[in-house]
Amino acid sequence: MRWLADTFPELRPRLDSDQIRAVMRVGINLRWFAVAYAGLAGLLSPRAPQFLTEEILVAVLYNGLVMGTLKRTPDRALPSLALATTVIDQLFCFTFLGLYNVLPGGHQVAAYVPAMIEAVALFGLAGAVLSSGFFFAALVLVQSAGAALGRGAFDGVGVFGTTMIVILIGACLAGVNQALSRSTDDSAREASSVATLLPGSWPELSGREQEVLRLVAQGCSNAVIATRLGVSERTIKATLERLLTRLKARNRAEAVAAASRLRLL
């Protein structure tokens, strides 16, 4: 899978190593649930789908292999492992649809959603594109093979409709993922700006500086502050310049915001 990641740089997880491992562990648990569900469905069905037992056996072996590999894989190799399992899971979910006689009508698409969720969680928009593209290519292949073998005509309208459902699901998942990622990034940047002033290095403001900062927060001008404190505007200006430097702020608004975050007001 390394060549695929090298060809498409977008297919590299945007998560850190701990997050990748956490997502993959969720995938492992979901596969065990899917295996149990498929087995129960086969037992309760009047006529078990062909090759269901074989796929369940392969899924058990595959999931066990992923569990063992994940434990031994170093952090630097996690992106390749994540991409490999994502691609294989798309195949497994689509094969499951095939065992239950997947139809272009779209009512069985729900079984493909877990694979798409995994792809989007790891790769964002690129994962949605990968998953949707895989589904479309596989569905066209299956329909073409069925038509060639005389099992029915190629249903182009059905293929289009079903694929559009999958694309819509992928777009929704990718949009939510992007929104959450942007919110996390903004929070991280805000935390980083506060972290530039560690607790041990927080500025200890003098009484005069605290008074000036409080009046600045109230929206007072330099002239008003000077009048209230009985000093010259030049003194107020010099005090403000010291405050901006000590709070690592570029203007009065940033100084007030930094002071609020540091609980200096």
Mean pLDDT of the region 154-172 = 88
With 0-12 / 13-18 / 19 or more C-beta atoms within 10 angstroms meaning exposed / middle / buried, residue 65 is: exposed
Containing structural domain, residue 162: 2-195
The average pLDDT across 73-85 equals 89
Count CA atoms within 13 Å of residue 99 on its CB side. Answer: 23
End-of-domain residue from the set 174, 195, 216: 195
Q: Is the pLDDT of residue 116 over 70?
A: yes
Task: Check whether residue 231 and residue 174 sit in a common domain.
Answer: no
**Which of 101-105, 132-136, 256-260 has maximum average pLDDT?**
132-136
The pLDDT value given to residue 72: 92
Model pLDDT, residue 2: 53
In one-letter notation, the amino acid at residue 45 is S
pLDDT at 33 over 70: yes
In this prediction, residues 190-214 reach a mean pLDDT of: 65
- Indicate if 191 and 212 belong to the same structural domain: no
Q: What is the pLDDT of residue 8?
A: 52
Which has the minimum average pLDDT: 3-17, 151-165, 232-246?
Answer: 3-17
Domain boundary, last residue among 145, 179, 195: 195
Helix (H, G, I), strand (E, B) or coil at 155: coil
- The pLDDT of residue 197 is above 50: no
Q: Is residue 119 domain-shared with residue 160, that is, in the same domain?
A: yes
Return the pLDDT at 187: 52
Domain identity same for 95 and 218:
no
Kindly state whether residues 158 and 228 are assigned to the same domain.
Answer: no
Looking at 195, 225, 251, the residue that finishes a domain is 195
Whose tokens are 């648990």? That residue is 29
Model confidence pLDDT, tens digit, residues 133-159: 999 998 899 889 888 988 778 888 888
* Whether residues 39 and 70 fall in one domain: yes
Total tally of structural domains belonging to the chain = 2
Which amino acid is located at 189 in the chain? Answer: R
Same domain assignment for residues 137 and 234:
no
Per the CB < 8 A criterion, the answer to whether 126 and 8 are in contact is yes
Pairwise CA distance, residues 170 & 166, whole Å: 6
Same-domain pairing of 104 and 180: yes
Confidence (pLDDT) at 137: 92
The answer to whether residues 121 and 233 belong to one domain is: no
pLDDT at 54: 83
CA dihedral 12, 17, 23, 29 (to 10 degrees): 130
- Percent of the chain residues past pLDDT 90, beyond the cut: 13
pTM equals: 0.59
Q: In terms of domains, do 14 and 42 share one?
A: yes
40 and 161 part of one domain: yes
Helix (H, G, I), strand (E, B) or coil at 45: coil
Rounded-to-integer distance, Cα 14 and Cα 142, Å: 33
Same domain, 109 and 239: no
**pLDDT tens-digit map of 53-70:** 887 888 899 999 999 999
The pLDDT, as a whole number, for residue 131 is 92
pLDDT for 193 equals 53
Q: What is the CATH number of the domain that holds 227?
A: 1.10.10.10
Average pLDDT of the residues of the chain: 80
Please give the backbone phi and psi of residue 10, each rounded to the nearest 5 degrees, phi first.
Answer: -65, -20
Residues 6+ apart with CB under 8 A from 152: 146
